[in-house]
Amino acid sequence: MKRLDDIHLIVFEKLQKQFSLNPVTLKHPLPERSLRALGLVKIDGKVLSSDKFLRVLILKVAVAFFREVRTIFLGPKTELDLPVFSSETILMGKNRMIFLDVQRRGGYGHHDDTELYDRLVAIKEKYPELLAQPMKMGREIDKTFSRASCYVKISRDQDEQALNLFHEYLDVYLALVQQTRPLTGDVLEQAHRDYEAYTNTVIDHDPAAKIYRMLFGKKGGVERVKELFFAS
């Protein structure tokens, strides 16, 4: 039976088949431990880029021996003006929490993403048992979520269903990335503004960004979030 514990390996192998991935040199190299947390929190993973992606982030945050957070973040280059693929899997013994979304940078008002989100919602609706225990984040960060977002609590015996949902979302998303051509002119300038607005919202309100500030202080935490997720 497939396990969510293997989600990083599964995703990395799928991405390698479609894109030429290049390691990114970081100011704060991985693995890294937080001195503020007495070394009990370890951050490790892969930070990559490609001709399509500004960031391919495959990250594991381990808290002592009882909790792991597995992040997958695919941030396309700004000139492609594509949504980001964002996923977090929190493993705590037999319990899991999963977050999965394809998020439009800069909001959902001035892009015609109807077909994309209709497809994702149709996939989501195939898994009612998996989505039976929905969860909430903060009000501000919720504004970045699409109508196809999933944030739920599940049990270990639902791992395979969760991976199937993940694969279906990822396949739709990667097909979109492969088909998209770069922007030019005024629409490119708007895409840069959207990217900056999305980055600021995540830094200010995302729970993961708040954890980085707790682990490394305000300056160090913001530096790491910008570098890991946004190549800035």
Q: What is the pLDDT of residues 164-208, one digit of tens each?
A: 999 999 999 999 999 888 888 888 888 888 888 888 888 998 888
What lies within 8 Å, CB to CB, of 64 at 6+ separation is 40, 41
Spatial CA neighbour of 58 closest among 11, 105, 104? 11
Q: Quick check: 92 pLDDT over 80?
A: yes
pLDDT for 66 equals 78
Q: Which of 50-59, 62-71, 83-92, 104-113 has the lowest mean pLDDT?
A: 104-113
Q: Which two tokens stand for residue 197?
A: 């607005």
Q: Quick check: 96 pLDDT over 90?
A: yes
Mean pLDDT value across the chain? 91
For each of the domains in the chain, give its residue range(s) and CATH number, in order of start.
Answer: 4-230 (3.40.1500.20)
Q: Quick check: 1 pLDDT over 80?
A: no
Q: pLDDT, tens digit, for every residue of 4-14?
A: 989 999 999 99
Other CB atoms within 10 A of residue 139 CB: 8
Alpha helices (H) along the chain: 7-18, 114-124, 139-142, 159-179, 185-205, 207-230
Cβ(48)–Cβ(22) below 8 Å: yes
Higher pLDDT, 122 or 211: 122
User: What is the rounded CA–CA span in Å between residue 174 and residue 164?
Assistant: 15
DSSP 3-state assignment of 68?
strand
User: What is the rounded CA–CA span in Å between residue 213 and residue 70?
Assistant: 18
Q: pLDDT, tens digit, for every residue of 31-67?
A: 999 999 988 999 999 999 999 999 999 999 998 777 8
Q: Return the residue matching tokens 């202080």.
A: 217
User: What is the rounded CA–CA span in Å between residue 189 and residue 69?
Assistant: 35
Q: pLDDT, tens digit, for every residue of 118-164?
A: 999 999 999 999 999 998 876 777 778 899 999 999 999 999 999 99
φ/ψ (deg, to 5) at 94: -85, -10
